[in-house]
Amino acid sequence: MAKLNQIIAIEKSIKSRSFQELTEAHHALQKPALLSGIARTYRPKDEEGEQLPPESTKVQVKADEIIRNTVTSLTRLFDVTAVKDSANCVAKADVVVDGKVLLAKVPVAYLLFLEKQLVDLHTFVRKLPVLDAAETWIFDASADCWATEPVQTVKTKKVPRNHVKAEATDKHPAQVEMYYEDVVVGNWKTIKFSGALPAKRINELLERVEKLQQAVKFAREEANNAEVADMKVGDAVFGYLFA
C-alpha cells in the first residue's frame, strides 16, 4: 500500500501531464486536415492519353485513438485524486504542544487550514506595538493600560523687570532698561499612557505561535504518513462515458 504523502507528491505532476495531453488532443481534433485522407487514381480516356500517378493523403489523427489515449491519461489522474481525497477524509493526527494534546484527531484538510492561518497570525503578533524601552512602565488597572511614574516639571512665565542703568539727575532722566525674567508659576505632573505591549509579552506570544506552527506541521506529516488503498474509479467513469 502507498502512503498518502507519496500520493500527494505525484498528484501534481500527473495533473499537469494529463492537462497537457488533454489540451494537445483537443487541438489535434480541431484540425480537419489531419482527420482527412484521400486516395485518387487516374485513368485516361484512351490508351494514348496522358498517364498520371496516383495521389493519396493518409489520415494523421483518428478520433478513436485520441479518445483511447486521453482515457488512459485521465484514468490515472482520476484514480490518484480519488485516493488522495478519500484518504484526506480519514487521515487524522493529534496536534501536540509541550507533550500535551492540544487538538485531537485533526483531519489533514484542517491541518492545512491551520498552517495557513498561523502564518498570518505570526505576522500579526510580530507587528504588535511595543512599549518604549526608554520609559519605565507599570500597568494601571484604573486606566486599563500601561502608565509611567508621574514626572514633575515646572511651568515658568516671563515677567518684565526694569534695570536702572543710571539714576536720574536734574539734567537727565534715569536710564532704565527693561528685561524679562523667568518666574516659576506652577508645576506640571505628567503621566504617559500607552496601549502597546511589553517586548517580553510579544516575544512570549511569538514563541507560542511558533510552537503551534511546528506542532501542526508534525501532525500533518504524521497524518500524511497514513497508508492508503488504491482506487480504480477511472475505469468505471470512462467505461461508462466511452463504452
Evaluated on CA atoms 209, 213, 218, 222, the torsion sign reads positive
Q: What is the pLDDT of residue 188?
A: 92
* 128-157 residue pLDDT tens: 999 999 999 999 999 999 999 999 999 999
Q: Please, what is the average pLDDT of the chain?
A: 90
Q: 118: pLDDT confidence band, cut at 50, 70 and 90?
A: very high
- With 0.85 as the threshold, say if the pTM is over it: no
Cα–Cα distance, 202 to 133 (Å, whole number): 13
* 11-48 residue pLDDT tens: 889 999 999 999 999 898 898 888 899 999 988 888 88
Percent of the chain with pLDDT over 90: 57
Q: Return the bridge partners of 98, or none.
A: none
Q: What is the pLDDT of residue 225?
A: 85
DSSP string, 97-138: ETTEEEEEEEEHHHHHHHHHHHHHHHHHHHTS-B--TTS-EE
Q: The cell 502608565 sits on which residue?
A: 147
Q: What is the pLDDT of residue 5?
A: 81
| Mean pLDDT within 67-73 | 91
3-state secondary structure of 36: coil
Q: What is the pLDDT of residue 212?
A: 97
Domain boundaries, the chain: 1-91+228-243, 106-145+194-225, 150-190
Q: What is the pLDDT of residue 1?
A: 62
* 174-207 residue pLDDT tens: 787 888 888 888 999 999 999 999 999 999 999 9
Cα–Cα distance, 120 to 211 (Å, whole number): 15
Evaluated on CA atoms 212, 214, 217, 222, the torsion sign reads negative
Q: What is the pLDDT of residue 48?
A: 82
Percent of the chain with pLDDT over 70: 100
- Helix, strand, coil shares, percent, the chain, to 5: 45, 30, 25
Q: The cell 507599570 sits on which residue?
A: 138
Q: What is the largest CA-CA distance in the chain?
A: 161
For residues 135, 136, 140, 145, the Cα torsion angle rounded to the nearest 10 degrees is: 40
| Mean pLDDT within 103-115 | 93
**Grid coordinates standing for 204?**
512570549
Better pLDDT: 171 or 49: 49
